[in-house]
Amino acid sequence: MAKKVKDPGLGEASVTSAKRIVNKDGSFNIKHVHRKTGISALYTYLVDISWTHFFCLVFLVYFIINITFATIYVTIGVQYISVEPQGFFIDFVNAFFFSSQTITTLGYGAMAPTSIITGIVSSFQALIGLLSFSFVTGLLYGRFSKPKASIEFSDEIIYRDFKEGKALMFRLMNSKKDVMINPTVKVTLAITEADQAHGYQRNFYQLELERDHITYLPTTWTLVHEITEESPIYKFSEKELKTLNGEFLIMVSYYDEAFNEEVYKLHSYTFEELVMNVAFEKAFYYDEDGFTVLDHHKISNTRKM
């Protein structure tokens, strides 16, 4: 008989429409209201976005700051940054260049402040510039030193014949060249079921794995849950499985040699991501020289059984 586990901290009360708790990227699928935000939240945001997004933002902010200060310098009068006034457009462009030369602490000097007010603004702007680039330095290092996404999961979880019965399987891949040591996996199944006493209730079950830890992970690792009588999904038919409102919550931990850190990674599969009667194709092979070759495109490749 399948044994429930106590609420692992995710809450037992549920509704029929309940969305998944853990997103595919491993974050919690929770909306926050009245959350205090601040510079730290900004930092976390800027560390988590993609590189393209990050650089676009840097250029945009650089542009906006210079537009802002250019407006200030034009308002004060470009003669006070040693520029001959020549009409709004040219003045604005010159002020923009003066601003960019100030904020980067470039300071060619062809333009330079010649009044107290432009002196004050440019002193202040140079400080702002240095603080901003200190911030960017921290951000860049923060982005690099954070171990991200070095584990890749197969797109789907599969349900297939295995030994005399059936089994659930999914696959992990070492998506970097990093040395992964002692990877360990824990799978919790959460199913929302109607309960006479409490309305909809989320029940949690620990899934037994054929093997839940290995010593090294240089290529791929297929995790196997045999559906024995002990399994919480033993009682469901293939059809019923596809209609369940539930979620496989997966926690992988390993030691990452490149970062010298123990790394945890969450992942989740819903029953919509369950595919029937397919098997994973091998994702690595030996080439002629005896080298093991890992093909990153094949992590989710399956074939009909």
Cα dihedral 44/46/51/57 (nearest 10): 170
- Order across the sheet with 180-195: list the strands: 4-5, 199-206, 180-195, 246-256, 261-270
Q: How far is the CB of 303 from its own copies (least distance, A)?
A: 17
Contacts of its own copies in 44-103 (CB under 8 A)? 44, 51, 58-59, 62, 66, 82, 93-94, 96-97, 100-102
What tokens appear for 160 in the block? 């297939």
In the list 126, 224, 244, 278, the residue contacting its own copies (rule: CB under 8 A) is 126
What tokens appear for 81 in the block? 């940054």
Q: Is 31 in the site for its own copies (CB under 8 A)?
A: yes
In the list 80, 162, 236, 259, the residue contacting its own copies (rule: CB under 8 A) is 259
* Per-residue burial over 255-270, b = 16 or more CB atoms within 10 Å of its CB, e = otherwise: ebeeeeeebebbbbbb
Q: Is 10 in the site for its own copies (CB under 8 A)?
A: yes
Contacts of its own copies in 155-214 (CB under 8 A)? 174-179, 181, 183, 186, 188, 211, 214
Q: Is 123 in the site for its own copies (CB under 8 A)?
A: yes
Q: Is 109 in the site for its own copies (CB under 8 A)?
A: yes
Q: Which stretch binds its own copies (CB under 8 A): 156-164, 231-239, 273-281, 289-297?
A: 289-297
d(CA 305, CA 303): 6
CB-based contacts of 129: which residues, under 8 Å, 6+ apart?
A: 102, 103, 104, 105
Q: Is 236 in the site for its own copies (CB under 8 A)?
A: no
Q: How far is the CB of 237 from its own copies (least distance, A)?
A: 25
In the list 1, 3, 87, 108, the residue contacting its own copies (rule: CB under 8 A) is 108
Q: How far is the CB of 238 from its own copies (least distance, A)?
A: 25
Q: How far is the CB of 12 from its own copies (least distance, A)?
A: 12
